[in-house]
Structure formats: structure tokens, C-alpha cells
Amino acid sequence: MTMFEYNKLILKKVSFDARIFKKELRKAFRNSTQEEISRLKLWWRSNSISIQAEHSL
């Protein structure tokens, strides 16, 4: 499992709570390469996960 896949798994599991999602998204960004960050952003936006978290980053 790559870090990208791991981060997606965690973010899916916490997507029910915007506060936790935002915290985990920040951790994912901190621990990822620029390419992985771009992929995470595309995945996150294309799946409409936690729109509230997007506005508060």
C-alpha cells in the first residue's frame, strides 16, 4: 500500500466528521510529496468528500 492509498483510506474513514477530516488531511499533506498532494486534492475534490473541510483549510 502506498502512502497515497493509505491517506485515502484514512480520509474515507473519517469523512463523517469535518474536524477530524481536516486534521487528517493536514497530516496527509505534511507527510506527502508534491505529486501525492496533487493526487490527494484531485481525489478529494472529485469525490466531494467533506466540502466543509475544504473551505476551512
Rounded distance between C-alpha atoms, residue 36 and residue 18, angstroms = 21
Residues in Cβ contact with 4 at an 8 Å cutoff, skipping those fewer than 6 apart? 32, 36, 39, 40
Q: How confident is the model at residue 57 (pLDDT cuts 50, 70, 90)?
A: low
10-32 per-position pLDDT tens digit? 999 998 888 998 899 999 999 89
Residues 6+ apart with CB under 8 A from 35: none
User: Would the pTM count as exceeding 0.85?
Assistant: no
Domain count, the chain: 1
Domain that holds residue 29: 3-55
